[in-house]
Amino acid sequence: MSIDVELKHISSIISTTEEGKFKVDEIQNHIDKVWQIINNKRRVLNDIMINRICKVITKLAIIVDAYKARMVRFESLKLYIEKEGLATDLIELSQNIS
């Protein structure tokens, strides 16, 4: 898969409003794929785009790990994602790449 598809997929998953449908392992799997794609395409993507993607993905990875470790409740997780605009940023980045 390409990085823009991965970013869109992550965005759709984190937009889920139901706790039971929030798939942490799937999000982490797609985050890992994004890291692999970035490492393989360092010369294809410009540094500014790579930095923006890394910033958003890192924020998401930290909060998802905290949720998985039960350090953060689902409501707090959703509030953070909304406040930081992570879903919107992921969609915007995927559109800029494609």
How many domains would you assign to the chain?
Answer: 1
Q: At 97, which helix (H) or strand (E)?
A: helix 86-97
Helix spans in 1-98 (H): 3-14, 24-40, 47-68, 74-84, 86-97
Q: Which CATH number covers residue 21?
A: 1.20.120
**82: pLDDT strictly greater than 90:** yes
- The two tokens of residue 55 are 């910033």
**11: pLDDT strictly greater than 70:** yes
Encode pLDDT of 39-57 as tens digits: 887 777 888 889 999 999 9
d(CA 42, CA 53): 12
Domain of 57 in residue numbering reads as: 3-97
**98: pLDDT strictly greater than 90:** no
